[in-house]
Chain A
Amino acid sequence: MSEKTTSFRDRLAARVGAELAAELQPVAGKAFEAYAVRKEKLVELLGAARECGFEFLSDLFAIDFHPREPRFEIVYNLTCVQSGERVLLVLRLADGESYPTATGVFATANWHEREVFDMFGLKADGHPDLRRILMYDGFEGHPLRKDFPLGYQPERGFFEDVHQTPKEEGGPPF
C-alpha cells in the first residue's frame, strides 16, 4: 500500500486544472477521503478522476438521511487498483430530484443506478434502461427509503400487477 502524499483534489488540479478541482468540496466523516460535488459537474469529475488513476468505480449507492435536507446522498466509490486508494464523490439530492447518469464514463454504473431507482426512487437522467432491478415491475414504493416501513406490502397483489404492466416498446413479448 503506497503512502498517500497528496490529496485527491491536488492531484486533480495538477492533472486537469484548478478550475475543475475547485468544484470538489471536502466532506468530513466519510469512510474515505470524500468530496461533495454539484450534479452539473459530476460526469466531468468522474472522467477526470479516471484520468487521475481512479479507473475503477467500485460502488455506487444511495443513503437516505430522512428527515435531514437535502435528504439523499449518492456515493461514488472510486478505486485506484494499482495502489488500492479510494476516494468518494458525494452527490446531495432532494426528494424527487434526478441526477446525471454515470454510465457514459463507467459502464458498471448501469445496474447500480437501476438499483438506486428501484430502492430509493431517484432517477438517473440519460440512463439507457432505467427499470426496476430487484423488485418486480408492478411494485409500488421504494423499499430502502426511511419512510417505507419494514415489512410493509403494498395492497395490490403480485400476479395482478404483473399482468397489468404494459409491455415495453421493443422488449421481449412476454
Chain B
Amino acid sequence: MPDLIRTETMTVNMGPQHPSTHGVLRIVLELDGERIVRATPHIGYLHTGIEKTAENKTYIQAMTMTDRLDYLAPMSNNLAFMLSTEKLVGVDVPPRAQTVRVMLTELQRIASHLVWLGTHAIDIGAMSMLLYCFREREVIMDLFEQVCGARLTVSYFRIGGLAADIPADFTKRVKDFIDYFKPRVDEYETLLTRNKIWLNRTVGVGRISAADAMNLGLSGPALRASGVGWDIRKTNPYSGYEQYDFEVPVGANGDVYDRYRVRIAEIRQSVRIVEQTLAKLPSGAYIADAPKVVLPPRNTLHTSMEALIHHFLIVCNGVRPPAGEAYVPVEAPKGEIGFYLVSDGTAKPFRCRIRPPSFVNLQALSKMAEGAMLADLVAVIGSLDIVLGEIDR
C-alpha cells in the first residue's frame, strides 16, 4: 500500500505580514502534513542600515538611533551604547546617575516582558492577558514620559550621566507603581501558570538543550530556560549591579513553558531591584563634571559662559574619544546586547558593531521548530521574544 500512495512535503510561506511573527519576519516552511520538516527564517525587511549611519554621526547623535533597535527596550540599548562610549572616553558616572540608570532599565525590563507576555499569550489564545499587561505597561510608559518626554524613543542617557535629573515626585510615583504592580504578577500567574490549556500548548514545545542553546549563541531568558544560569549583571556587573541583591531564575527543560516561567520570575526580580534602587537612591550630581567631554547641566547654561561654550562645542563638534576599541555587554530583556565601538580619534565612531540578541536568538528557531506542529511554531516564535527592529537593524 505505501508504494501506491505518493506523498510529498509542501512548502508554505508564513509572513512577512503575519500577526504572530511580531513584525516583518518571513518563514518558509516545509510541511509534512501539519508537521514542520524545515523552517527557514528570512529577515531583512526592516533593514535601515543603523551600523552604517552610526559611522556618519557623532556619538550623541548615534545614541538616538539605538532607541530604534529594540524599540520595546530603548533604555537598555541606550545604556549599552553609553557604557561603551564612556569606556572609550574614560569618564566616571556619578552614583546617582548609575542608580537611576539601573532603576529605569529594570522598569524597562518589566515593560518589555509585559509586552512579551501579552502578545505571546494572545498568540496562543489567552486573549485577556494582552489587556492586563498593556494596562500595567502604560504606567511605565507614563513614568518614562515624565522623566524624558518620550515613551519609546527615550534617548535619556548621556555620556557621563543623564540628560536631566529625575522630577521631584518621580520616586514616589515609581514606588506607587511597584506597590500596585506586585500583586498583579500573581494575578498573571493565576491566569496562566497552572492553566491546563496553557500547559498543553507550552510544556515540551520548542525544546532546546543547554548544549544546543550555547552552540547557537542563545542569550538572556532563552538561554537560562535551558538551564545555563548566565546573567551579565552577575558575571560582569555594570552600573553598580554588584550592589543589588537579586537572583537569576533558571529553567530546566528549555521549552516554551520554561521560558515563560523564567521571564515571569525575572519580572519579580526586577521589582526587587527597583525597590532597592528607591531605597538607596543617593543625592548629588546626575551627570559627571568633565566639561571637555560631558554636556554641562542644562540650568548652568543661563549663568555660566564656560558652560555655554562647552555645550556649544560638544554639540557642534562632538566628543572626540582617543583612538581605541571598547565593548561593554549589557543584559537586555532579550539577552546580551553590546556595541563594539572602534574610535579613530574623530568625533564619529569608525565602526559601530551592534551585537543584537534577537538576531542571534532567532537563529535557533529552525532547531526549535523541527518536528513540531505548525500551530506550535507560533508558540515558539512568541517564546523567543524577538523584535525585528533589532534583528534587521
Give the interface of A toward B (CB within 8 A).
Answer: 1, 29-32, 55-59, 61, 63-64, 75, 77, 81-84, 86, 106-108, 110-111, 119, 132-136, 143-144, 148, 150, 172-174
Contacts and interface: CB of A to CB of B under 8 A. Distances in A.
B232 interface: yes
A57 to B, nearest CB: 6
Q: Which of A64, A83, A134: most chain B Cβ within 10 A? A: A134
Contacts of B360: 108, 111
Interface residues of B, number: 45
Interface of B: 11, 13, 28, 40, 43-44, 47, 49, 51-53, 55-56, 212, 214-217, 219, 228, 230, 232, 234-237, 323-327, 329, 336, 338, 340, 342, 350-351, 353, 355, 359-360, 363, 392-393
Given A64-B351, A134-B392, A81 B359 contact: no
Contacts of A133: 43-44
Contacts of B234: 84
Contacts of A83: 235
Contacts, number: 94
A56 B232 contact: no
B56 A108 contact: no
30 contacts: A29-B323, A29-B325, A31-B326, A31-B327, A32-B327, A56-B214, A56-B230, A57-B217, A58-B355, A63-B342, A63-B351, A81-B214, A84-B235, A84-B236, A86-B327, A106-B215, A107-B216, A108-B216, A108-B360, A110-B363, A111-B359, A111-B363, A133-B44, A134-B44, A143-B52, A144-B52, A150-B53, A172-B11, A172-B28, A173-B11
Given A29-B325, A108-B215, A111-B360, A59 B52 contact: no
Nearest to A173: B11
A59 B214 contact: no
Contacts of A111: 359-360, 363
B355 A30 contact: no
A81 B52 contact: no
A61 B228 contact: no
Q: Which of B219, B234, B323, B351: most chain A Cβ within 10 A? A: B351
